[in-house]
């Protein structure tokens, strides 16, 4: 159980660490997730959307149930996300080879690994439901 002194210290620390206060700081932090587009939903153009729909129907089978169609859609989108991550990985590797391994690029590779593991998990969950 926390003592009164610890509770007071936690409250004091919480007051100092509540995030950005200025408009510029809030704007900057709001763009953190959009740096590479991997943390949000997959953004697709109409051609890619048509491909996803066609593959989804093929994966779901003839006359699929609603649940099977949702799972097939999730599976297909996860696969397209993995393809996008692969293309981003190639671009980063090319930069690393050209610039002699910049620390920023190495961190980006680590982030790509995290997003890739997440997409593998999404695809595996969708495949189990199929």
- Is position 48 within any domain? yes
pTM score, whole prediction: 0.66
In a domain, 110, yes or no: yes
Tell me, yes or no, whether 38 lies in a domain. no
- The answer to whether position 75 is within a domain reads yes
Is 6 contained in some domain? no
State the total domains in the chain.
Answer: 1
Residue 103: inside a domain: yes
Residue 116, in any domain of the structure: yes
Share of the chain above pLDDT 70, in %: 92
Q: Decide if 123 is inside a domain.
A: yes
pLDDT of residue 29: 76
pLDDT at 37: 66
54 CB burial (10 A radius; 0-12, 13-18, 19+): exposed
pLDDT tens for residues 65-99?
888 999 999 999 999 999 999 998 898 888 877 77
21: which 2 tokens?
């206060």
Query: What Å distances lie between residue 54 and 11, 74, 79, CA to CA?
Result: 54, 13, 14
């Amino acid at each position: 159980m926390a003592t009164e002194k610890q509770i007071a210290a936690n409250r004091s620390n919480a007051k100092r660490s509540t995030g950005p206060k200025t408009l510029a700081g809030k704007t900057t932090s709001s763009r953190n997730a959009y740096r590479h587009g991997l943390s949000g939903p997959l953004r697709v153009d109409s051609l890619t959307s048509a491909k996803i729909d066609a593959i989804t129907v093929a994966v779901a089978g003839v006359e699929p149930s609603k649940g099977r169609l949702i799972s097939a859609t999730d599976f297909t989108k996860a696969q397209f996300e993995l393809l996008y991550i692969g293309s981003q990985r190639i671009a980063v590797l090319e930069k690393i080879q050209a610039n002699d391994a910049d620390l920023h690029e190495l961190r980006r590779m680590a982030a790509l690994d995290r997003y890739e593991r997440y997409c593998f998990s999404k695809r595996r969950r969708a495949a189990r439901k199929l």
